[in-house]
Structure 1
Amino acid sequence: MTDDRPPERVRVSGPPRRRTGRAQPRRRHIDAETRLGEIYLGSLLREQLRLAALSLLVLLLGLGTLPALFWWQPGLAEVRLLGIPLPWLLIGFAAYPFLLLVGWRYVRAAERNEDDFTDLVETMDP
């Protein structure tokens, strides 16, 4: 007599992970919300805030000064390159690659900050 039931399904999630019995001290401080954990998280938040403020400053200086430049030098608004007015080229076309570059740099730096924070927290020696 054969068994007509389908085989039991097994969930495969990857190789088993080794677990040492030792808790990682710095992560424990963050998970338990101790004063030391607050200091670690505060340092990450301050660094991320500094990075965001710096990126905003670059954006303000890079794009925010363009209208002021055309106001101070009205003759620049009459300049044409390839038949297109200079303000259209700078604000309408060149601004987008600049925004992409600033955004890309911000994300890379923010991820680097988070990786440094993770390395700090996961070190066994406090």
Structure 2
Amino acid sequence: MINNFICNKEKNELHWIYNTHKVTIGIDDLDLAMIDEKRKIIFVLSKPLPLPMLLTVLNIDGTLLSTFTPPEGASFSYLTLNDKKEVLIVCSFSEKINGWYDWHYSLDLDKKVITRMAPSY
């Protein structure tokens, strides 16, 4: 379990304690981070222009698992939890897709893809 999770945007650092080990990770242009306790991974949004353009996924000891850019025509907006307590990524599009600008995306770590799930409202 992760304890004392801190997202310090001023210093562009994430800090937490995992199994009594202190972990510190530097992320350029850090915007937002959230723990997915169910899958034991950390989602990090960074490079806001003005919305984030990079998603970084770390394991709980701080090792980089993967990075993603937003879908074409979109920016990452924010992170949220679904009813299963998994982190979802909300992407905002410049044009509507099926009547919506904002969509929830889910991460498939095995395939290393993010998949559009449902509108965000």
Task: Please state which band the TM-score falls in when normalised by the shorter chain.
Answer: under 0.3
TM value normalised by structure 2: 0.20
* Higher RCO (CA-CA < 8 Å; seq separation 6+): 1
Higher relative helix content: 1
TM value normalised by structure 1: 0.20
Higher relative strand content: 2
